[in-house]
Amino acid sequence: MKKVFVFDLDDTLMTNVHDYAQSILDMARIIIEQLGAKAPHVSAVIALEEEIDKRRVHEINPITGHKFLYSMERFPGTMVQTYREICQRVRVEPDKLVEKELYKIGMQAFDPARYKGNIFPEAIPTIYFLDSQGDTPMLLSKGDQRVQSKKFSAISAGNNFFRARIVDDKTPQVFKEMKRGYENDVFYSVGNDYEKDIVPALEAGYKGILIPAETWEVIGRTDQILAKVDRSKCFVFNCLGELKERYGEL
């Protein structure tokens, strides 16, 4: 009986959270420059952006008629919406040219030139180690096909994964579909988000390996989330390299 490891991508095999930092900082600078003394404190601008971006995940994109979820358009649209909401609060008419500039800045978060450099140093050695043990590494990522496919290319140049899939959402059914053809093997879901990478996998009969990372969706909730972890079904590692170091415990 072999082991199959279904890896999350963003903030598990490659860093992702700071790809958006420069855009957010540039957004705050532009809003403050445009509104001057009427602009909120920079910390309030950034906090509002975070609040709006979380909200927009489940809002409907008027162009597609579907939820934004993790589509490419959500984040740059959040830059614009943050500016609009601040303008509304301080009773200033939004400038269309500023909105266009903010959208352009948001799109810079998806520059594929940074993807190879974002891969964690332990990522490829860990995949090679599992392969040397006769195990099967797979890749499952949630997000926009246009973005994630370029990240897949960056990390999969050596055809390191036996199966790879990009989905809108990670559901128990998606995890079950990853098992097709490998039903007799033991499956592990490896990810940084317990609620999205591990819980639905446990429902699909997997074991979990959680490597916590404080992303924009879980800021300030890490301890609360860790308290919920079912330690009988899920290992908690401090870093990706521990998968190799603690392999004998699996």
3-15+115-249, CATH topology level:
Rossmann fold (3.40.50)
Domain residue ranges in the chain? 3-15+115-249, 17-111
Cα gap 197→6, rounded to integer Å? 10
The predicted model scores a pTM of 0.88
84-135 pLDDT, tens digit each: 999 999 999 999 999 999 999 999 999 999 999 999 999 999 999 999 999 9
Closest CA to 151 of 116, 184, 177, 126: 116
Q: How far is CA 203 from CA 34, 108, 206, in A?
A: 49, 37, 7
The residues pairing with 186 across neighbouring beta strands, listed in sequence order, are 3
Q: What is the pLDDT of residue 216?
A: 74
Cα gap 213→196, rounded to integer Å? 13
Instruction: Say if residue 157's pLDDT is above 70.
Output: no
